[in-house]
Structure 1
Amino acid sequence: MGHMLTISNSIISNNRTSVEAYVSEPAGEPKGGLIVIHEVWGLVDHTKDVADRFAAEGYLVLVPDLLAETAMTPELATELQATLSDPEQRSKVQPKLRELMAPLHAPGFAERTLASLQACFEHLYAIPALAGRVAVSGFCFGGTYSFSLAVSEPRLRAAVPFYGHADLPVEQLRHIACPVLAFYGEKDAALVDKLPELTERMDEAGIGFASVVYPGTGHAFFNDTNAWTYDADASEDAWQRTLGFLAKSFAA
Structure 2
Amino acid sequence: MDISVIGKHWKSSSFQPDLESLANLQRRMFLARAVRYAVGITTIAALPLYIMEHTSAAQIAADDLRIRSERVALDADWGKLACYFTRPNADTGRLPGVIISHDKWGLTPHFEDVARRLALEGFVALAPDYASRFGGTPTESGPALEVVGMVTKADMDADTQAALLWLKSNGKSSEKVGAVGFGLGATAIDAAVTKEPALNGAVIFYGHPPPLADVGNIKAPLMLNLAGKDQFVGPEVPAFVDAVKKANVKAEIFTYENTERGFDDDSDSAHYSAEAAKLAWSRTIEFLKATLS
Normalised by the length of structure 2, the TM-score is 0.71
In structure 2, the partner of 1:65 is 129
User: More deviation in 200-209 or 234-243?
Assistant: 200-209
Give how far 1:138 is off: 1.0
**Alpha-carbon displacement from aligned partner over 1:135-180 (angstroms, at most 9, x marks no partner):** 011111111111111112112111001000014023x122221000
- Residue 49 (structure 1) aligned with residue 113 (structure 2): yes
Change (3 A) 1:133 1:214: same
Identity score, percent: 26
Change (3 A) 1:71 1:43: closer
- Residue 32 (structure 1) aligned with residue 96 (structure 2): yes
Counterpart of 1:22 (choices 84, 96, 114) is: 84
Counterpart of 1:134 (choices 152, 177, 180) is: 177
In structure 2, the partner of 1:162 is 205
Change (3 A) 1:19 1:100: closer
Change (3 A) 1:162 1:116: same
Q: Is the 8 A contact 2:74 2:163 kept in 1?
A: yes
Q: Is the 8 A contact 2:130 2:136 kept in 1?
A: no
Hey, what's the Cα distance between the residues in 2 that align with 1:101 and 1:197? 29
Give how far 1:127 is off: 3.9
**Alpha-carbon displacement from aligned partner over 1:87-131 (angstroms, at most 9, x marks no partner):** xxxxxxxxx898556523xxxx22222111111111111244533
In structure 1, the partner of 2:232 is 190
Change (3 A) 1:189 1:56: same
Hey, what's the Cα distance between the residues in 2 that align with 1:163 and 1:63? 18
Change (3 A) 1:58 1:97: closer
Hey, what's the Cα distance between the residues in 2 that align with 1:61 and 1:130? 9
Q: Is the 8 A contact 1:23 1:62 kept in 2?
A: yes
Task: Give the partner amino acid of 1:73.
Answer: P
Change (3 A) 1:45 1:129: closer
**Alpha-carbon displacement from aligned partner over 1:12-63 (angstroms, at most 9, x marks no partner):** xxx4663111101112325310000111001110000110100111111110
Give how far 1:190 is off: 2.1
RMSD across aligned positions (CA)? 2.1
Change (3 A) 1:116 1:195: same
In structure 2, the partner of 1:85 is none
Q: Is the 8 A contact 1:199 1:209 kept in 2?
A: no
Higher relative contact order (CA 8 A, sep 6+): 2
- Residue 103 (structure 1) aligned with residue 189 (structure 2): no
Counterpart of 2:278 (choices 233, 236, 248) is: 236
Structure 1: stretches of 5+ with no match in the other structure: 81-95
- Residue 118 (structure 1) aligned with residue 161 (structure 2): yes
Hey, what's the Cα distance between the residues in 1 that align with 2:136 and 2:81? 17
Q: Is the 8 A contact 2:87 2:125 kept in 1?
A: yes
Q: Residues 201-240 of structure 1: matches in 2 within 5 Å?
A: 201-240=243-282
Hey, what's the Cα distance between the residues in 1 that align with 2:155 and 2:185? 14
Q: Is the 8 A contact 2:102 2:127 kept in 1?
A: yes
Task: Give the partner amino acid of 2:269.
Answer: A
Hey, what's the Cα distance between the residues in 2 that align with 1:103 and 1:178? 29
Change (3 A) 1:193 1:111: closer
Q: Is the 8 A contact 1:185 1:214 kept in 2?
A: yes
Aligned residues: 223
Hey, what's the Cα distance between the residues in 1 that align with 2:74 and 2:282? 30
Normalized per residue, the structure richer in helix is: 1
Change (3 A) 1:232 1:226: same
User: More deviation in 240-249 or 186-195?
Assistant: 186-195
